[in-house]
Chain A
Amino acid sequence: MLPYIVRRLLIAIPVLIGITILNFCIVNLAPGNPVDMFIDPNTPQQLVEAKKEMLGLNDPLIIQYFKWLWQLLQGGFGYSFSSFAPVTHIIGERIGPTLMLTSISLTLGLLIAIPIGILSAVKQNTRFDYIITGLSFIWTSMPQFFLGLGLIYLFALHFKILPTGGMLTIGGDDNFADRIKHLILPVSVLTIAIIGKKIRYVRASMLDVLKQDYLRTARAKGLHAFIVTNKHALRNALIPIITVFGMEIPLLLGGSIIIEQIFQWPGIGQLTMQSILSRDYPTLMGLNFIAAIIVLATNLFMDILYFVADPRVKYN
């Protein structure tokens, strides 16, 4: 097992370097340079030049890249163009709410999609199966912002039982019930998107396993259907599902931008939008980099988990 993990880590190194290069390129594609964009056009040219020199914007791109990389290795992303606070600090403040939103949605998604997917497979071609398959199609095709707006319209504006957005009632007392109320709508949108896709994966994976000979043997031995499904089949069906849920992380991080925008959720999605609008490149670079690292790390973790869970996986 150790050689596999080492190999997998070694492969991740060039990918990590590639991520830093691509990330640097993306932000430096911007036409013009930040100084020209932020500085008062009446500032004397000498001052502008001095500022550029100070920020290192006159260096060749490759030097700028290595400077950025050096900064990164020391654990920093520089300072925000708009608030002048350290980027790590700004992101640190905002990552909590996003992690809360995404982890709750992912957990709920798992808890709902797995049993429904299994049931759908076991009851293949029954009315239950058709309804679930139909619903999962609608859920996957639903634009998240449309669903979000619809839910706000229904539950916040029409029935007035839930807040329209935010994490807390401003000026209200900070209690648990209030937090839960604010979580319900954004979590529902993300969870619905997850279960829509995952039900079909779980179902397909379960159907695959149910066809196997060893299950026929188990049934032929006279084992109870419940044990066959939940002990013999489920264990094997869950293995591919591990990776599939890992693949959900980048989608969740991307999707959180829309959700956080609609529900005014103070996480990194909203921060991304704010940084885009204020052309705050250091913050954008930091955000993109952290998101990519999260994805890379989850993929690595899922691969290793998969390897541990399934002894049949050969590594080459």
Chain B
Amino acid sequence: MSMTDIRVNPTTRMDAAQMIESEPEERYTQQIIRRFRKNRLAVAGLVVIILLILTGLFAPWLTPHNPNELTAVFSASPSTTHLLGTDQVGRDVLSRLIYATRISLIVGFITVSIYVTIGTILGLISAYYGGWMDMIVMRLADIFMSFPYLMVILVVVSILGSSLTTIILVLALFSWPTVARLVRGSVLSLKELDYVKAGVALGLSPARIMFSHILPNALGPIIVNATFGVAAAILSEAGLSFLGMGIQPPTPSWGNMLSDAQSLTVLTNQLWLWVPAGSILLVTVLAINFMGDGLRDALDPKQ
């Protein structure tokens, strides 16, 4: 290609610019949707997640019994009245499983939205301003990441007292660094691109450059990370509740339902008390991970 080919005259350049401008916004979204739909496992994951959300929303209409109602039969094996049997104090296991969906989804989605917001803002600031700001934010991230995740969360939640709010806040407090590092990384490379420099030259405010020019281009990895984060948060809550430091009974959570199986009698003879709760937890996490994987391929075709 010769030099003359590259030097286009101003009018054609305008046309090109207009063409890019007029490329409808949804073309890009449509592309992503098309690529996502090709991944059958990811679509299946999405369907499962939607079903779970609906289950959580309509729990009162779906449950055969009140989840906290004590019936006369303790540890009854599955029957027509109690499809998945009853637990050690006579509550219907199926109804508790259905209600527990709410806890898992609330913890998963709210925790992630909190820490992704914090992590994104800190990552943006850190990368955009650099220097001291960057040093402080990144060292803070190092400090928080040095504590083994589950261990420190367990200790903090046990000290503060375990309620749904504490669990969410503590999980978020120790999860933002990954997002901050991720955002910082992509902003550092985006910052060097011409369109950002053009923005600076035009005198746009740093906030406008960061949020409306840099952030949209760094969104892909953030969304993927957030999706996997939902699965991780759900697993962490279940782990905490399993150890007796998370959601406290009578509120049902998949983790605290599995906690009963630490007794060998339950483990051996009352499979309905722990196998369904563990399986639904596995399916939920698997569905979210499949979806995250599909999103990664759809948002970043290079990989």
Chain A contact residues, CB within 8 Å of chain B: 11, 14-15, 18-19, 22-23, 26-27, 29-31, 137-138, 140-146, 149-150, 152-153, 157, 164, 204, 249-251, 253-255, 257-258, 261-262, 269, 272-273, 276, 284, 287-288, 291-293, 295-296, 299
Contact: B143 with A15, CB < 8 Å? yes
Contact: A157 with B278, CB < 8 Å? no
CB within 8 Å for A276 and B155 given contacts A143-B282, A258-B239: yes
Q: Which residues of B contact A11 (CB under 8 A)?
A: 139, 142
Contact: A141 with B264, CB < 8 Å? no
Residue of A nearest to B289 (CB): A141
Residue of A nearest to B150 (CB): A254
Stretch at the interface among B13-21, B49-57, B61-69, B156-164: B156-164
Query: When the two chains form the complex, which single residue of A22, A30, A152, A258 contacts B143, counting CB atoms closer than 8 Å?
Result: A22
Contact: A27 with B159, CB < 8 Å? yes
Q: Which residues of A contact B150 (CB under 8 A)?
A: 251, 254-255, 257-258
Query: When the two chains form the complex, which single residue of A18, A23, A29, A153 contacts B267, counting CB atoms closer than 8 Å?
Result: A153
Contact: A19 with B146, CB < 8 Å? yes
CB within 8 Å for A143 and B278 given contacts A149-B267, A253-B148, A261-B243: yes
Residue of B nearest to A14 (CB): B139
Contact: A149 with B258, CB < 8 Å? yes
28 contacts between A and B (CB under 8 A): A11-B139, A11-B142, A15-B142, A15-B143, A15-B146, A19-B143, A26-B159, A27-B155, A27-B159, A142-B282, A142-B285, A143-B239, A143-B278, A143-B281, A146-B281, A146-B282, A153-B267, A153-B268, A249-B148, A251-B148, A253-B151, A254-B151, A257-B154, A258-B239, A276-B155, A288-B147, A288-B151, A299-B146
Instruction: Tell whether B128 is near chain A: CB-to-CB under 8 Å.
Output: no
Residue of B nearest to A13 (CB): B139
Q: Which residues of B contact A299 (CB under 8 A)?
A: 146
Complexed CA–CA distance, A30 and B245 (Å): 15
CB within 8 Å for A26 and B156 given contacts A141-B286, A146-B282: yes
CB within 8 Å for A22 and B147 given contacts A142-B282, A143-B235, A276-B155: yes
Instruction: Tell whether B290 is near chain A: CB-to-CB under 8 Å.
Output: yes
Contact: B152 with A26, CB < 8 Å? yes
- Which parts of B150-200 form the interface with A (CB within 8 Å)? 150-152, 154-156, 158-161
Q: Which residues of A contact B143 (CB under 8 A)?
A: 15, 18-19, 22
Contact: B239 with A138, CB < 8 Å? no
Complexed CA–CA distance, A273 and B147 (Å): 16
